[in-house]
Chain A
Amino acid sequence: MAVAAARRVRDGDVVFVGIGLPSTACNLARRTHAPGCVLVYESGTIGAKPTRLPLSIGDGELAETADLVVSVPELFAYWLQGGRIDVGFLGAAQIDRFANLNSTVIGDYDRPRVRLPGAGGAPEIARHCREVVVVMRHAPRAFVERLDFRTSSGERVTAVITDLGVLEPDPATRELVLTELQPGATVEAARAATGWPLRVAPAVRRCDPPTAAELAALHALEAA
């Protein structure tokens, strides 16, 4: 998944990075095919070049290696809302067929079964980045017919990367369509893991497996 997500970053892209897999993916991209990409973390570190994977968005090394460190209000206003971010990465507990996301509650808002962390940067990342890539594990409890709560909109999502493959929005209807499969994954498995009747592209591509160079870079990052 990290490799598939990393491949979505073009050299020179300005990328808004969240914790976890997106951070791994963006750092991997910077070490491989996109050395000129600019990492922006919501803690205010712009152009961070960490030597090891940060454990949080507020890691000290992000501040030390950044081109500039700005306040959080400035980051969200001048840089994100200001339209200066090419790609934003998001994850969530639930996603629907239009790539709307839920990271707020499972169940009722007023008395939830599970209280999730909440919106954070998601609504504005979803709205102001030129494009958004979602990274999530493919499972029926995540890929749902109807979200329990709509935290952010899928309006700018260009790809959903899962452990089974890649989904991309239909240009006309914006409904997610399975377009790629990870090595070893099947259309049947993807359908079974999706809580709505999953649309499948007429010719589903097979994701190229990670190259030796990508794997080496990934291992180096994780071991640092």
Chain B
Amino acid sequence: MAELVSLREAVAELVHDGDTVALEGFTHLIPYAAGHELVRQGRRDLTLVRMTPDVIYDQLIGMGCARKLVFSWGGNPGVGSLRRFRDAVENGWPAPLELEEHSHAEMAAAYAAGAANLPFGVLRAEARDGLARIACPFTGEELAAVRALRPDVGIVHAQRADRSGNVQLWGIVGVQREVVLASRRSLVTVEEVVEELEPVPGAAVLPHWVVTAVAEVPRGAHPSYAHGYYERDNAFYRAWDEIAADRDRFGAWMRENVLSA
């Protein structure tokens, strides 16, 4: 388990057309480099899953990689909307995008259920699309059920791993652990591979035997941040609004900065 490979090999091996892929990060440790590799390898027809799709999802959607999006909040935090996401939903460009929409609480519960090998998560929520009504078998109280999320591939970024592929991440860990544990196959990109993982207060560890592949990708979260390594590139997020506003400008930017990289 936890093969140390190049990012290119990992994506080629683990992600296939038509897969359900979750690239997770809650503002922090967003796996941009991995997302870019999906674009470079021309993956198509993906069901993309993410609680908070941001610029990397705008890019994947705009490049036609996605058939469907499972999400709860899609925007460019602090800046505005995701132009390519909106173009796909409002105008079907570059292709129609099917949406499966949830709340944060639903998706969090769905990932946790997937990680726990359960078919659904339970929460207190009012009746709405995508949720089923259930009654507590002990008290009869009415609750809501959300189908578990079990992606084909879970991709996250972390600060470091050791040579055996044990992964360590700290700061805002979001839903990273759940997504790795809920997915059939997982890829963790890391800032660095070290000889030994020094303990860090509050750090989460994913042991090598629950991770499929680890790839060393320094700055693999840029323009998002990696706590202890580099800050969020807020200027990039702001600049993205204009880059993505125009289809041709977007395409040119992607060719220049992602496809030819």
Contact = CB atoms under 8 A, between A and B. Distances in A.
B107 to A, nearest CB: 9
A137 to B, nearest CB: 15
Given A69-B202, A124-B125, A127-B124, A58 B172 contact: yes
Those 3 A-B pairs whose CB atoms lie nearest each other, nearest first:
A58-B27, A120-B73, A117-B75
A62 B173 CA distance: 13
A59 B101 CA distance: 25
A43 B102 CA distance: 17
Given A60-B231, A77-B109, A115-B85, A42 B104 contact: yes
A43 B174 contact: yes
Contact of B232 (A55, A63, A75, A115): A55
A176 B251 CA distance: 47
Contacts of A69: 171-173, 202
B45 interface: no
Interface in A122-153: 122-124, 127-128, 153
Interface string A67-79: 0010111011100
A118 B171 contact: no
A124 B73 CA distance: 14
Contact of B90 (A20, A71, A113, A118): A113
20 contacts: A19-B78, A42-B104, A43-B28, A44-B26, A44-B173, A55-B232, A56-B77, A60-B232, A71-B173, A71-B177, A72-B26, A72-B174, A73-B108, A73-B112, A115-B89, A118-B71, A120-B104, A123-B125, A124-B125, A127-B125
A111 B73 CA distance: 18
B103 interface: yes
A205 to B, nearest CB: 33
Contacts of A42: 104
A72 B24 CA distance: 12
B110 to A, nearest CB: 9
B51 A72 contact: yes
Contact of B105 (A56, A80, A116): A80
A194 interface: no
Contacts, number: 132
A44 B173 CA distance: 8
Size category, B interface: 35 or more
A73 B174 CA distance: 8
A63 B78 contact: no
A124 B104 contact: yes
A128 B144 CA distance: 14
A56 B232 contact: yes
A153 B125 CA distance: 11
A2 to B, nearest CB: 16
Interface residues of A, number: 41
Contacts of A19: 77-78
B175 A119 contact: no
Nearest to A152: B103
Nearest to B25: A58
Contact of A72 (B74, B103, B104): B104
Nearest to B82: A117
B243 interface: no
B239 to A, nearest CB: 15
A224 to B, nearest CB: 15
Contacts of B175: 71-73
B81 interface: yes
B202 A60 contact: no
Nearest to B80: A117
A128 B171 contact: no
B41 interface: no
B200 to A, nearest CB: 12
A59 B74 CA distance: 18
Contacts of A43: 26-28, 172, 174
Nearest to B92: A111
B111 interface: yes
A81 interface: yes
Interface string A27-53: 000000000000000111100000000
